[in-house]
């Protein structure tokens, strides 16, 4: 059996890649926001534009899958990948909106670290999606899957340390604790979705090997 079947139509791959690229751009824009918080409004507007474009691609992909009798991947796998990629961008937008909602005046130092790890993780997930088209084997992709997993674990540690530090601070502000926890939760959700993407790609590669 040929990897991913014999379908010649590559538009579904292209749409998935566009979703992954949008998620990566959103992560980069969020990282830029954490490094230039004085201009957060401008960065947030860029993220909103990216999310709007990503939604259009998501809907286009869904319509394409529904109207295609034979797809190069199982429709369930395409749906899982598309949903996870869309969720990455949505979570990044949610994190940005949460900063604005609570009118957080200054950023904690560790949010920039989490944002940088998010960029790296989304980039690795984007590479994994690109591998669907290139038809790489599972063994050659293992380093990429491990990288996503390692980055997720690093982000998890930063997340736990940030929550612990805020919780045990002697001058803890309950309101700001809630606000920051919501921001961190959304960034961590985006990272977790990257791992979902990598896991789905790995499952697809095994299925069609």
Residue 186 lies in a domain: yes
* Residue tagged 């010649």 (tokens): 8
How many distinct structural domains can be found in the chain? 1
Residue 195 lies in a domain: yes
Residue 125 lies in a domain: yes
CA distance 153 to 176: 25
Residue 115 lies in a domain: yes
What's the CATH code of the domain at 147? Answer: 1.20.58.220
**pLDDT of 107-149, one tens digit each?**
999 999 999 999 999 999 999 999 888 766 677 788 999 999 9
The pTM of the full predicted model, rounded to 2 decimals, is 0.92
**pLDDT of 59-104, one tens digit each?**
999 999 988 888 888 999 999 999 999 999 999 999 999 999 999 9
Residue 2 lies in a domain: no
Contact 197, 128 (CB under 8 A): yes
Q: Could you list the residue range(s) of the whole structural domain that residue 90 is in?
A: 11-207
Residue 151 is inside which H or E element, if any?
helix 138-168
SS3 sequence of 96-112: HHHHHHCCCCCCCHHHH
């Amino acid at each position: 059996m040929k990897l991913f079947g014999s379908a010649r139509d590559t538009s579904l791959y292209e749409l998935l890649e566009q979703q992954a690229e949008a998620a990566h751009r959103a992560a980069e824009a969020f990282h830029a926001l954490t490094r230039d918080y004085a201009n957060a409004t401008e960065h947030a507007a860029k993220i909103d534009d990216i999310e709007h474009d990503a939604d259009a691609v998501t809907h286009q992909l869904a319509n394409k899958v529904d109207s295609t009798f034979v797809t190069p991947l199982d429709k369930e796998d395409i749906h899982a990948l598309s949903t996870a990629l869309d969720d990455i961008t949505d979570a990044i937008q949610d994190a940005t909106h949460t900063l604005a909602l609570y009118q957080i005046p200054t950023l904690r130092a560790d949010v920039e670290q989490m944002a940088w790890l998010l960029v790296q993780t989304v980039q690795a997930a984007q590479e994994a999606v690109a591998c669907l088209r290139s038809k790489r084997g599972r063994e050659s992709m293992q380093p990429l899957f491990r990288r996503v997993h390692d980055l997720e674990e690093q982000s998890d540690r930063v997340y736990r340390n940030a929550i612990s530090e805020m919780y045990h601070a002697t001058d803890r502000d309950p309101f700001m604790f809630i606000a920051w926890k919501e921001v961190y939760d959304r960034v961590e959700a985006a990272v977790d979705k990257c791992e979902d993407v990598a896991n789905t790609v790995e499952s697809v590669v095994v299925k069609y090997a």
